[in-house]
Structure 1
Amino acid sequence: MSAPRSNRVEVNGWVILDKPVGMTSTQGVAVVKRVFNAKKAGHAGTLDPLASGILPIALGEATKTVPYVMDGRKVYRFTVTWGAETNTDDTEGEAIATSDQRPTLAEIEALLPRYTGVISQVPPKFSAIKIDGERAYDLARDGEEVELEAREIHIHELRIVENSAEATTFEAECGKGTYVRAIARDLGRDLGCYGHVTALRRAVVGTFDEQDAVTPDELRAMKDGTDDLPPVEDALLPVETALEALPILAVSQHDASRLARGQSIILRGRDAPIFEGVAAVMSGGVLVALAELERGELLPKRIFKLGGVDA
């Protein structure tokens, strides 16, 4: 049983869960929350139960940085089995089109440029996209006809990792909103042989990759103090780890206190930053705020309560 809410504690940071196949993202959050007995937790981007890999979980003040992780780059490794398209575009669905034809490696490679850059993609009917307030997958499961509009996505790179007569494994680096299952579906149609995803792993989300990841079993063992494993606190990454893509500004304790009270500060002189936009503001090694710099004025957007700064 989970600990009573009143006994939960303030825990701030990121845990990068290596989610196994079969676990939902919500269940993954629950595991981490229970191990750390944390008051507040959430994840940065749903990972389907049939997929494994990187599920960044934010605890406490780290939840304020979730959008910066979700908007970051993602890398997926996925296997497409040729010869059948399913209504879910993966192994959970039923075959709706089949073919005895199989693509050659040269035919697949010739198509890849068409799937890189900014492209138009129709999401899978079995997706979490809402239609009139209802999830598309709920409507599809109820037998209703689901029509989703194409949307622009950005695929930075799509390359072949492994290939055989029956299946091809790809690695895709892509932006927010990309559906790997739709890539498999569309490749199969363009090749005239149909295809669906039979294995999927997310290897990178934002600044987090597989080197940061820990499995649920490892987390539990670390919590129990199993020999040869570090303490569970070592799995907790600092809140600011999610913000590595942002500029970092160091300010004085006095200026940090102003930002913590929601007040702007003016940065002038030779040491004033020369950029404009959002930055992570630190003082004495502690993350103070996310703030927007405009014409020398730093305006706080999100304030962090991580200790070390008096408001």
Structure 2
Amino acid sequence: MDGIFLVDKPENITSNYLVQKIKKHLKKITGKEIKVGHTGTLDFFASGLMVITVGKATRLTEYFQGLDKEYTAEGELGKITDTYDRQGKVIEERECNITEEKLKEIILSFQKTYPQMPPPYSSKRIGGKRAYQLAKKGIQPQLKPKIVSIYQIQILEIKLPFFKIKVHCSSGTYIRSLIKEIGDKADCGAYVSYLRRTKVGKFSVEEAVKLSELLKMTKDELVNRLIGMKDALYFLTELILDHGFDDRFIKGQRFRVKQAGKGLVKVLNKEGKLLGIGEIKENNILQPLKVLL
């Protein structure tokens, strides 16, 4: 069983808990230990799409992590929490005298590429520890801003002090930080009261299976839901090797290919079987990166 599942994570569980539940279920129905991972954490209070890697696909996590994301989020103005979300402790309340029109203008001003500061309660590593581990001990993590891109913000609803938006953004964007920044610009603060991830790349939560349903599925039903590795890597260009070159790739040897253009490729044999991931470098030299056999 090698590929990905699209799973709709419920609110109020950790991403790791979801992975462990799936791993336990797979062992129960197959009688085997199967590797299970995920391609990007969702906050405890958030729901929505998680791309779950299974078997050999757990070695491909890094390639999915760069995909764009889409979220639906609700913010509440006038309150600031230490975690920037509803799970946190309210550390400040302010009066919010803002018009709907001004709030719309502020929200749409974030459709840009800019350096965004991660929340103190985040999984960013600082000196070998996660930022949230330091924050829980009362230590202010020394975080650095990261360049993110907000490609589109759609305003779904404004019922002050609440506002609901849909955000299409680059990987690594923190919606909690975005909502806080909107609140800062509105001069009254804000926190995330609701968050749902709706897309990862072209994968949509509408195609996903709820965790509760997945945990009732038989082996055959799960195999039918599994997206194979070749299809899951839709965002990588295919490179089909000529006969006789399979072994060289499998052995990790570099060699020249006919295909022009630099970058990552998914490498297939003549029969269409995925052999692994490679990178085409200068002079059309293929460098094997991951062999998946």
TM-score (norm 2): 0.91
Match for residue 191 of structure 2 among 188, 196, 206: 196
* Equivalent runs, 1:67-216 vs 2, <5 Å: 67-216=62-211
Equivalent AA in structure 2 for residue 297 of structure 1: I
- 8 Å CA contact 1:122–1:151 kept in 2: the answer is yes
In structure 2, do the counterparts of structure 1 residues 139 and 298 end up closer, same or farther at CA, with 3 Å as the change threshold? closer
Equivalent AA in structure 1 for residue 104 of structure 2: E
Counterpart secondary structure, 2:261: coil
* Equivalent runs, 1:184-263 vs 2, <5 Å: 184-223=179-218, 231-263=221-253
Mapped to 1, the partners of 2:163 and 2:107 lie a distance apart of 13
Total equivalences in the alignment: 286
Equivalent AA in structure 1 for residue 234 of structure 2: E
Q: What fraction of aligned residue pairs are identical, expressed as a percent?
A: 29
Match for residue 39 of structure 1 among 25, 30, 34: 34
Which residue is 1:52 aligned to?
47
Superposition deviation, residue 253 in structure 1: 4.3
- 8 Å CA contact 2:126–2:142 kept in 1: the answer is no
Which residue is 1:280 aligned to?
266
Superposition deviation, residue 214 in structure 1: 0.9
Which residue is 1:7 aligned to?
none
- 8 Å CA contact 1:35–1:223 kept in 2: the answer is no
Match for residue 276 of structure 2 among 289, 304, 309: 289
- 8 Å CA contact 2:68–2:170 kept in 1: the answer is yes
Are residues 1:302 and 2:278 paired? no
Counterpart secondary structure, 1:257: helix
1:98-119 deviation digits (Å, cap 9, x = unpaired): 1232533311221234312211
Mapped to 2, the partners of 1:180 and 1:71 lie a distance apart of 16
Equivalent AA in structure 2 for residue 205 of structure 1: V
The more displaced of 151-160 and 189-198 is 151-160
Are residues 1:63 and 2:36 paired? no
Which residue is 1:14 aligned to?
4
Superposition deviation, residue 146 in structure 1: 3.5
Superposition deviation, residue 56 in structure 1: 0.9
TM-score (norm 1): 0.86
- 8 Å CA contact 1:112–1:159 kept in 2: the answer is no
Mapped to 1, the partners of 2:78 and 2:86 lie a distance apart of 13
Mapped to 2, the partners of 1:203 and 1:168 lie a distance apart of 18
Equivalent AA in structure 2 for residue 286 of structure 1: K
Mapped to 1, the partners of 2:180 and 2:64 lie a distance apart of 27
- 8 Å CA contact 1:160–1:171 kept in 2: the answer is yes
1:34-76 deviation digits (Å, cap 9, x = unpaired): 2222421211011111010111111111122211111111111
Structure 2 gap ranges (5+): 28-32
- 8 Å CA contact 1:42–1:57 kept in 2: the answer is yes
Aligned-residue Cα RMSD (Å) equals 1.8
Superposition deviation, residue 215 in structure 1: 1.1
Mapped to 2, the partners of 1:61 and 1:216 lie a distance apart of 21
Mapped to 1, the partners of 2:272 and 2:234 lie a distance apart of 14
Mapped to 1, the partners of 2:244 and 2:111 lie a distance apart of 48
Mapped to 2, the partners of 1:160 and 1:103 lie a distance apart of 16
Mapped to 1, the partners of 2:263 and 2:147 lie a distance apart of 25
Which residue is 1:5 aligned to?
none
Mapped to 1, the partners of 2:215 and 2:226 lie a distance apart of 13
Counterpart secondary structure, 2:138: coil
1:119-156 deviation digits (Å, cap 9, x = unpaired): 12111111122233222222222222334232222221
Counterpart secondary structure, 1:244: coil
